[in-house]
Chain A
């Protein structure tokens, strides 16, 4: 296996991403919405309106004791804010890398088929392993790397506004550490693996994207579980989930490589 070939594939894919609107728009718009719009909307509602303006507040009030809210936060609006910004919306920062990586992966494989360049690639000495790893990393890196600046923006905006209106910092839970460093890459890889498997068989980008979008569903379930208080993900819980997920990802990649059959792929072109 030649790392130089994998690096060449990644560089080429990253250059192509820059020129593809269907990929660039979600890559920029989605993190911006998550990082800016959500904290601004919630904080301004609580600061300038009242807690009654938020849906389901009564149920949330009952759940406050379940969440690990710091003792320094005693007022109801700040407690709700802490729960929303650290727990309810945490899964959104797993959706960012998952969605970006999956869109890139779908575009990069199916896009190659649609543009006629996959056949050209198949005639080169790139091995199946190099091709899969190149596509995986070429999609994984932008997705995961976009998450960190998105989170920093989110934390800066949220903490800035909550300090301004409530005199307290809110995005401070240690749950973000395993979420961003372990779970986020693990989820992104899972989504990528599924997307690549689908893309190898799909004929168009839309087809690949529609199927791979279903990978988001477990994260939506996670979000609902956190909102309802059914499951509160502690840092340790997230570390365990992330490690199991990463082991599963490794097996998925190992299974994925032999499935890439040049002959079968060419026959479908």
Chain B
């Protein structure tokens, strides 16, 4: 089943700015969908339309194959945005008890699930401390616990790893993937963290100035670009110019030796060579624009 299906969705704000133009995409249930794009591309606008907060100017969308009332959307989904905060004068657990009650959860259920989530997110022992005493990363993790508390069918996550150290970011990424796989939650993830997107997203969409410029799995996007594997050779120049990195597209493995021999013939010392397919960063910059190393 399609968890999300948008049909020519567009949004123009009162001031005239066209935030989103003709967005049509589909997200399978139980998958992690990465929505990538520069600041101001329209990602947050898309999330706010899909989570029932904003009304689209034109177009339509369905969630789980149904036209859903905004109130029902808020019951079945959870949203974590960059700017939304928790109550810093309350403890993490008290915050979860408050928000849990807004989702009509039973008090005992909130306490049990809340403590479990806080432990999974590395906050065991700090549940009773006020959120105002937490670090940025800890606050982000409490926010994530809040969005997962009512076991939503659909999660909207906007930069869930911003402010987290690499270890915590990795744990959060893993938790997101686990939630999708084990609980069947569909995750709509907006992020600038391309390595995370590469690691956990089943499909990605690239948004640029309100337009969806690419959409699909990593393999589909790579094939559409006509990009296959790439041989990366790090060469130290014999003339003392330092190290260069050279990229060669490779269609067959027999081409590898030819490229390596050519690099050596130019008088360089090969320090490292590796065969790789385009990473998320390369795909992103290929579709959205910006620097693209050759």
Residues of B within 8 A of A19 (CB): 89
> Which of under 10, 10 to 19, 20 to 34, or 35 or more describes the interface residues of A?
20 to 34
A207 interface residue (CB < 8 Å to B): no
B67 interface residue (CB < 8 Å to A): no
Nearest CB of A to B18, in Å? 15
A124 and B53 in contact, given A15-B89, A16-B87 (Cβ under 8 angstroms): no
Q: Give 7 A-B pairs besides A115-B87, A124-B102 with Cβ atoms closer than 8 angstroms.
A: A15-B89, A119-B85, A120-B99, A120-B146, A262-B53, A266-B48, A269-B83
Binding site for A on B (CB under 8 A): 13-14, 48, 51, 53-55, 71, 74-75, 78-79, 81, 83-90, 94, 98-99, 101-104, 143, 146
Q: Flag if B13 contacts A117 (CB, 8 Å).
A: no
A126 and B102 in contact, given A263-B53, A263-B55 (Cβ under 8 angstroms): yes
A86 interface residue (CB < 8 Å to B): no
A5 interface residue (CB < 8 Å to B): yes
Residues of A within 8 A of B143 (CB): 120
Give Cα distance in the complex from A12 to B74, angstroms: 20
A8 and B102 in contact, given A125-B74, A266-B53 (Cβ under 8 angstroms): yes
Nearest CB of A to B159, in Å? 14
Q: Flag if A5 contacts B102 (CB, 8 Å).
A: yes
Nearest CB of B to A38, in Å? 34
Give Cα distance in the complex from A119 to B86, angstroms: 10
Q: Flag if A116 contacts B103 (CB, 8 Å).
A: no
Q: Flag if A263 contacts B54 (CB, 8 Å).
A: yes
Candidates B71, B84, B90; contact of A123 at CB < 8 Å: B84
With CB as the reference atom, state the residue of chain A lying closest to B85: A116
Candidates B55, B83, B85, B101; contact of A5 at CB < 8 Å: B101
Residues of B within 8 A of A127 (CB): 71
Nearest CB of B to A257, in Å? 15
Residues of A within 8 A of B103 (CB): 124-125
Q: Flag if A124 contacts B74 (CB, 8 Å).
A: yes
Binding site for B on A (CB under 8 A): 2, 4-5, 8, 11-12, 15-16, 19-20, 115-117, 119-127, 262-263, 266-267, 269
Tell me what chain A mostly uses at the interface: helix, strand, loop, or mixed. Answer: helix
Q: Flag if B85 contacts A120 (CB, 8 Å).
A: yes
A117 and B85 in contact, given A123-B74, A123-B79 (Cβ under 8 angstroms): yes
With CB as the reference atom, state the residue of chain B lying closest to A11: B98
Nearest CB of B to A76, in Å? 53
Give the residue among A5, A20, A119, A123 with the most B Cβ atoms within 10 A: A123
Give the residue among B51, B83, B84 with the most A Cβ atoms within 10 A: B84
With CB as the reference atom, state the residue of chain B lying closest to A115: B85
Residues of A within 8 A of B71 (CB): 125, 127
Residues of A within 8 A of B89 (CB): 15-16, 19-20
List 20 contacting pairs A-B, 8 Å CB cutoff, sorted by A: A8-B98, A8-B102, A11-B98, A15-B94, A16-B87, A16-B89, A115-B85, A115-B87, A115-B88, A116-B83, A117-B84, A117-B86, A120-B85, A123-B51, A123-B53, A123-B74, A124-B74, A125-B75, A262-B53, A263-B55
Give the residue among A117, A122, A124 with the most B Cβ atoms within 10 A: A124
Give Cα distance in the complex from A126 to B52, angstroms: 12
With CB as the reference atom, state the residue of chain B lying closest to A267: B13
| 4 nearest CB pairs, A to B | A116-B85, A120-B84, A8-B101, A119-B84
Residues of B within 8 A of A121 (CB): 102
Nearest CB of B to A206, in Å? 20
Nearest CB of A to B7, in Å? 21
Give Cα distance in the complex from A104 to B104, angstroms: 26
Nearest CB of A to B280, in Å? 28
With CB as the reference atom, state the residue of chain A lying closest to B143: A120
Residues of B within 8 A of A123 (CB): 51, 53, 74, 78-79, 81, 84
Candidates B14, B81, B99; contact of A119 at CB < 8 Å: B81
Residues of B within 8 A of A122 (CB): 53
With CB as the reference atom, state the residue of chain B lying closest to A130: B102
Residues of A within 8 A of B102 (CB): 5, 8, 121, 124-126
Give Cα distance in the complex from A83 to B51, angstroms: 60
Nearest CB of A to B29, in Å? 21
Give Cα distance in the complex from A15 to B87, angstroms: 11
Nearest CB of B to A111, in Å? 10
Residues of B within 8 A of A263 (CB): 53-55
Residues of A within 8 A of B146 (CB): 120
With CB as the reference atom, state the residue of chain A lying closest to B77: A123
Residues of B within 8 A of A269 (CB): 83
Candidates B83, B88, B104; contact of A4 at CB < 8 Å: B104
Nearest CB of A to B149, in Å? 11
Nearest CB of A to B82, in Å? 10
Residues of B within 8 A of A16 (CB): 87, 89-90
Q: Flag if B86 contacts A120 (CB, 8 Å).
A: yes
Give Cα distance in the complex from A8 to B86, angstroms: 15
With CB as the reference atom, state the residue of chain A lying closest to B14: A267
Q: Flag if B87 contacts A117 (CB, 8 Å).
A: yes
Give Cα distance in the complex from A121 to B103, angstroms: 11
Nearest CB of A to B95, in Å? 9
With CB as the reference atom, state the residue of chain B lying closest to A120: B84
Give Cα distance in the complex from A266 to B14, angstroms: 13
